[in-house]
A and B are shown apart, each in its own frame.
Chain A
Amino acid sequence: MTFKLFNLLVQASVWTIGISAISIVIGFILALGLSAALLSARKLYRRPAEFFISFFRGVPLLVQLLLIYNLLPFIGLNVPSIVAAIVGMSLCTAAYQAENLRGGFESVPKGFIEAADMAGLSPRQIFMRIKAPIALRLTFPALVNEAIMILKSSSLVSVVGIVEITRMAQDLASSTYMPIEIFSSAAIIYLAICWIVAMTGKYVERSLPGAVK
């Protein structure tokens, strides 16, 4: 196992990190809409969101990726496989993040809302100034967790031909006959990335205003 091989894996991690980061962000934006629909009093909004979440949480990500990878060209969208990968991962994480957000909004203590109501804040002000900030910080640890899950799950995009860490390791392992060294190195790189994300998450959580230290 040479430094050169290890370096190739590290370079491939740019794809792992990039795809994961983009998917988390797109997924978060989608999840905001989905969670709003889930919390809606109207079945017309709630039912489709529940259906979406049930499907994307009920089907393996690998199968979702294969489905989207084959579905996009079928409906006339001939996009590069990286787009299919990002679409698949974003939809999947959106389903999980939407559930987190819903839980966060539901667990904002009623008293905080009542206090804002008594202070005369309008429903819109209560949402923007009180409810949303508190819900977001309640769900922040779950968001960090989800980011780590997605980083690990991103190894599956290797099946649609994207040369991220796992695919690079596979290629190197078959050309060098050093699978143990190569896959262990890949594992170490994943561990390091996940560890950095977890530590950064803890740091951010502690430095949020009003956090219990």
Chain B
Amino acid sequence: MTLPAISVQNLVKRFGTSTVLEAINLTIPAGQVSCLIGPSGSGKSTLLRCLAFLEEASEGMITVNGEALGFFENSRGERERLPLAQIRRVRSQIGMVFQQFNLWPHMTALGNVAEALKTVHKAPKAEAEERALAQLTKVGLANRAGHYPSQLSGGQQQRVAIARALALQPKIMLFDEPTSALDPELTGEVLNVMRDLATEGMTMVVVSHEIGFAATVAQQISFLDQGRILFAGAPGHVFAKPRHPRLEQFLDTYLDRGASMLV
């Protein structure tokens, strides 16, 4: 049995008095695509943000390639926060793609991709830009390197954002509803880049409403509802009839988005 890329044990997340995630147990196998699906407000984005340590879980443990992320259990069995340097080191294995792209508006596409190579990895400018250009080429945007985000379409911006995350050579890529902010005709180009990435064997965790993508690309699907994982498994298993009524209800809402094979 190989080490899972991410393992989540008994994770709980509370905002004030409301509990948004409850008793989450999840294993993300290395080299596979895992999708988190579920209705709005089910907690899937919060779960993903916990995996990126953008939100701190209230309880429970997360390990990334066997190393604790953020918190660990000390010898007395208490949950203890890890030092910042440690958190940053573990987190450097994770790349994140946001719903709103979050490209820095005052830098070109190339500048966005090269930024962390220069400031964090201290690569010389020429080398950083060469590597950045290689990433942009990979997502098919080498000819847009000098463009600012405001000059790019939503789909192009999201591809630049993927290149920006990939430039740091993460072992795991997290996608938070990467196509939700896009016009329908622009989702394809982003999903294609993600498909290519999956083919290369990248470990990916994708929060998405693109059921078609989940059904065809993912090896594992987890269905979240009201802060809990209702069930998880391979797509064939999850989508097989008869389905759980909550899933049926959810599919009714989203099925017109190009997942006709599931009807």
Contacts and interface: CB of A to CB of B under 8 A. Distances in A.
Direct A–B touching, Cβ under 8 Å:
yes
B106 A120 contact: no
Given A119-B116, A120-B92, A137 B106 contact: yes
Given A134-B106, A210-B149, A114 B98 contact: yes
Contacts of B164: 115, 119
Contact of B107 (A117, A122, A210, A213): A210
Contacts of A210: 105-108, 148-150
Most chain B CB neighbours (cut-off 10 Å) among A112, A208, A213: A112
Interface in B80-101: 88, 91-92, 94-96, 98, 100
Q: Is the interface of A mostly helix, strand, loop or mixed?
A: helix
Nearest to B111: A209
Q: Residue among A111, A114, A115, A211 with the most chain B CB within 10 A?
A: A115
B102 A120 contact: no
A121 B88 CA distance: 10
Given A114-B98, A210-B149, A121 B106 contact: no
Contact of A112 (B88, B102, B116, B148): B102
B102 A115 contact: yes
A63 to B, nearest CB: 40
A107 B52 CA distance: 23
Contacts of B115: 119, 121, 129
Contacts of B24: none
A130 interface: yes
Contacts of B165: 118-119
Contacts of B149: 210
Contacts of A134: 104-106
A129 B119 contact: yes
A121 B148 contact: no
A116 B107 CA distance: 13
A115 B104 contact: yes
Interface string A186-212: 000000000000000000000011111
Nearest to A115: B102
A80 interface: no
B163 to A, nearest CB: 12
A125 interface: yes
Contacts of B168: 119-120
Given A121-B120, A209-B107, A210-B106, A115 B98 contact: yes
B263 interface: no
Top-8 shortest CB links A-B: A119-B116, A111-B102, A210-B148, A115-B102, A120-B120, A118-B96, A210-B106, A212-B150
10 contacts: A112-B104, A115-B102, A115-B104, A118-B95, A119-B164, A120-B92, A120-B168, A122-B120, A125-B119, A211-B148
Given A118-B54, A120-B91, 12 more contacts: A112-B105, A115-B98, A115-B164, A119-B115, A119-B120, A120-B168, A121-B115, A133-B106, A137-B106, A209-B148, A210-B106, A210-B107
